[in-house]
Structure 1
Amino acid sequence: MFDDPGVLSLLMPWHWLWSEPLTEKVRWSICAKEVCFKNELLRHFFVNGKTLPVERGKGVNQPVVSIAAHTLAKGGWVHLFPEGRINYDGKLGPLRWGVGKLICQARQLNGGRDPALLPFYHSGMGDVLPITMDRLNVGKQVEVRVGELIRLDDLTCNCDSADAGVQQETWKAITARVKDALLDLERRCPPNPDQSAVAPKRDPPPS
């Protein structure tokens, strides 16, 4: 729960925060409604931190996806955790193909131009804020690896297909390419600690 905004705040120039909202340089993010918007205090905090609520299990056609797509189409920065959940074993988990739908919708809104898609991966947050602690561990190191822009034009050319099945396969193919890029970054980072043995029990992830 600290990687965004914690890690991103350290990566960004501080003057970006002072110049908002005139410059629109600070990222937009998406967070599960039941986590980030479960009470009024959290709702105000995350809304003012440019975070949009998504409802887990409600699919890719939620209004928040369209809002994020319009932001991308205008050249804005939308930061996603495409897994849609925390993986306590410290490894990259399955990605939600809503990320592919978002890319296609932004492309359609921007006259057929793909948004820039930049993968990055961090490791070490499991040491900074372990599950078993309720406060930050100061002095721990977090490594951030930033990849190359992901080429999409050979896939996004199918975004406008009249066949809904082709569209969904395109979303999945885009998501698979994103996962390949993140797995490459994961291999180049120090491993995250496996905390699955002490992780709280939870229901299976929504489809």
Structure 2
Amino acid sequence: MKTMQWAARAEHLGGIPRKMMFLAVGAFSKAVSNLFNNTTVHNADTLLRLVRSRPPGVPLLTISNHMSTLDDPVMWGFKGFPVTDAKLGRWVLAAEDICFKNMALSYFFRLGKCIPITRGGGIYQEHMNEALDRLSDGAWLHTFPEGKVCQEDAPIRRLKWGTASLISRAPVTPIVLPIVHHGFEKVMPEKYMFGRRPPFPLCNRDIRIVIGEPMEFNIPKLKKMAVDMSNDVSFSLASWPRTCGLDEAAQRCLYTNISNQIRTAMERLRKICKSCQEMKD
């Protein structure tokens, strides 16, 4: 009951609560991003184009690093982005233990098009199917494949396989767009006062968002490669269901390959983001 899937439906109360939610949260995001802090976005036109006018039925999967609890929705609050438009707004995977702790929070985040994910629940947990349904609808989904907030200035960590599984299982392979940002860890530091986050976002910080180029994955070819690779490696198997026509060993090879490609692209963007920040400093 706490996950309130009914509240996430577009027709819930005529869509009015969702529209109000996006207007309110979008205004907050605009204020934090543009009024109280300085945000610079590189290659914003690519994201705007894919959000507004990608081919019908083709889903969009954006992927980013995770620097703070404010990354989403504030990262969409930059100038020119339709963050208050509920119809164009992203779906996002959200930690169940944080965003769905009680009925009120569950309703709030469901209106905001959040899908609960249990950390440690595996890539075939119940609500991953809901995320897959949104991709099947041709919607926009955002994920944080590192799995948790990390505020260290360090390379992109090993990515969880859930995102790769969605890419390979979607009926129509999504357009994958990597994004890397820096500065949200200063707007909402994890250990600000007495080891806690500040009660409100901090001001006068510099936020930098670097949007990459769309990534395309030839899933049939990658599946064949995964089958060939799985014959030469051994895994500690956990009885995964046979999916995409692949056994568990081949699935693991497939997800590792896709995740490594995404991580490489994100690390490239992170270095660009860091060099831009150093030039400004």
TM-score normalised per structure 1: 0.80
Task: Provide the identity percentage.
Answer: 28
The answer to whether the 8 Å contact 2:146/2:160 transfers is yes
Question: Aligned-pair distance for 1:139?
Answer: 2.0
The answer to whether the 8 Å contact 2:161/2:259 transfers is yes
Residue number in structure 2 paired with 1:171? 255
Question: Aligned-pair distance for 1:13?
Answer: 3.1
Where structure 2 has 5 or more consecutive residues not aligned to the other structure, the ranges are 1-68, 193-197, 227-242, 276-281
Q: Which amino acid aligns with 1:118?
A: L
Structure 2 Cα separation of the partners of residues 118 and 128 of structure 1: 24
Residue number in structure 2 paired with 1:188? 272
Q: CA RMSD in A?
A: 2.0
Q: Which amino acid aligns with 1:78?
A: L
Aligned partner of residue 209 in structure 2, secondary structure: strand
Aligned partner of residue 142 in structure 1, secondary structure: strand
Residue number in structure 2 paired with 1:146? 211
Question: Aligned-pair distance for 1:38?
Answer: 1.0
Bigger radius of gyration among the two: 2
The answer to whether the 8 Å contact 1:33/1:54 transfers is yes
Structure 1 Cα separation of the partners of residues 151 and 256 of structure 2: 24
**How many residue pairs get matched?**
181
Question: Aligned-pair distance for 1:71?
Answer: 1.2
Question: Aligned-pair distance for 1:11?
Answer: 5.9
Structure 2 Cα separation of the partners of residues 8 and 135 of structure 1: 18
* CA distance 1:62–1:13, shift in 2 (3 Å): same
Which structure exhibits the higher relative contact order, with contacts defined as CA atoms closer than 8 Å and separated by 6 or more residues?
2
TM-score normalised per structure 2: 0.60
Structure 1 Cα separation of the partners of residues 204 and 107 of structure 2: 30
The answer to whether the 8 Å contact 1:161/1:167 transfers is no
Aligned partner of residue 206 in structure 2, secondary structure: coil
Question: Aligned-pair distance for 1:12?
Answer: 6.2
Q: Which amino acid aligns with 2:127?
A: V
Structure 2 Cα separation of the partners of residues 61 and 98 of structure 1: 8
Query: Does 2:186 correspond to 1:130?
Result: no
Question: Aligned-pair distance for 1:65?
Answer: 1.3
Structure 2 Cα separation of the partners of residues 3 and 134 of structure 1: 16
Residue number in structure 2 paired with 1:17? 84
Pairs within 5 Å for 1:1-207: 1-10=69-78, 13-14=81-82, 17-18=84-85, 20=86, 24-91=87-154, 92-106=156-170, 109-110=171-172, 114-131=173-190, 132=192, 133-153=198-218, 154-155=221-222, 160-190=244-274
1:34-78 deviation per Cα after TM superposition (whole angstroms, max 9, x unaligned): 011112222121111100101111101112111111211222100
1:93-136 deviation per Cα after TM superposition (whole angstroms, max 9, x unaligned): 22101111111111xx23xxx21000011001111112213321
Structure 1 Cα separation of the partners of residues 79 and 256 of structure 2: 30
Residue number in structure 2 paired with 1:204? none
